[in-house]
Amino acid sequence: MISNRKLIWPLLALVAIVQSAALFDMVRARDSLLKSGREITLAVQPVDPRDIFRGDYVTLGYDISRLKTPNAQTDFPPGAASVGSDVYVTLAGATDGSWTLTRVGSAYPSAVAPGETVLKGRVNSIWRDESAGQTFINVRYGIENYFVPEGTGRVLEDKVRSHEIKAIVAVATDGTAALKGLIVDGERHEDPPLL
């Protein structure tokens, strides 16, 4: 019995170290993505202005968040997309700094041109319009919430509604994306990111 008690404290310490290491690795990976990921800007749309647990935030929507199939830009066979499955969206950069959708697939593309980048998303919901023969896929990329100082969420949301904001997104080579900041009326805002 005494030997079991002696083992409990070292085991608890080991568990605490492993959990701390996992948390540190998550923070390190996100920081690395924000510092070294390819930076792109996307036009945004507002959704919701406040989260009572984490302070003010602006929920952002993107044109690439709602996909339609069948479509010449997608390689999804009918019925292939399901809630929770991965989606890879290829975007092409224009000379004016905007990014437009060129392809959508269920796997990372085999070839990506130098002027393109790929975002990895996850299917959040699917809606089928049987009469039109269309399927609408709602995709989340992990760049939908931008937290701001207390009391400023509504101001930013109003600006998003008038199309004066773009999202600054860092993209890793595997398609993982992180919201780095916002461009408000041409002015760049980067707040420390929250996990």
Give the residue with greater pLDDT, 184 vs 93.
93
Helix (H, G, I), strand (E, B) or coil at 71: coil
Write down the pTM of the prediction. 0.74
Residue 189 has pLDDT above 90, yes or no: no
Q: If you write DSSP's letter for every residue of 10-54 in order, what string do you get?
A: HHHHHHHHHHHHHHHHHHHHHHHHHHHSEEEEEE-EE---EETTT
pLDDT at 170: 92
Q: Provide the terminal-to-terminal Cα distance of the chain, rounded to the nearest Å.
A: 42
pLDDT at 71: 64
Q: Compute the average pLDDT of residues 122-128.
A: 89
pLDDT in tens, 61-94: 898 998 887 665 666 655 667 888 999 999 999 8
Give the residue with greater pLDDT, 72 vs 142.
142
pLDDT at 134: 79
**For residue 190, what is the DSSP state?**
-
pLDDT at 130: 79
Range with the largest mean pLDDT of 47-61, 66-80, 154-168: 154-168
% of residues, the chain, pLDDT over 90: 21
Contacts of 174 (CB under 8 A, 6+ apart): 108, 120
Give the residue with greater pLDDT, 85 vs 51.
85
Range with the largest mean pLDDT of 15-19, 47-51, 75-79: 15-19
pLDDT at 140: 94
Distance separating alpha carbons of residues 42 and 89, to the nearest angstrom:
13
Q: Bridge-partner residues for 181, per DSSP?
A: 168
pLDDT at 53: 47
| Nearest alpha carbon to residue 122 among 79, 84, 69, 173 | 84
Measured CA to CA in angstroms, residue 118 lies from 69, 114, 160, 170 at distances of 19, 11, 24, 11
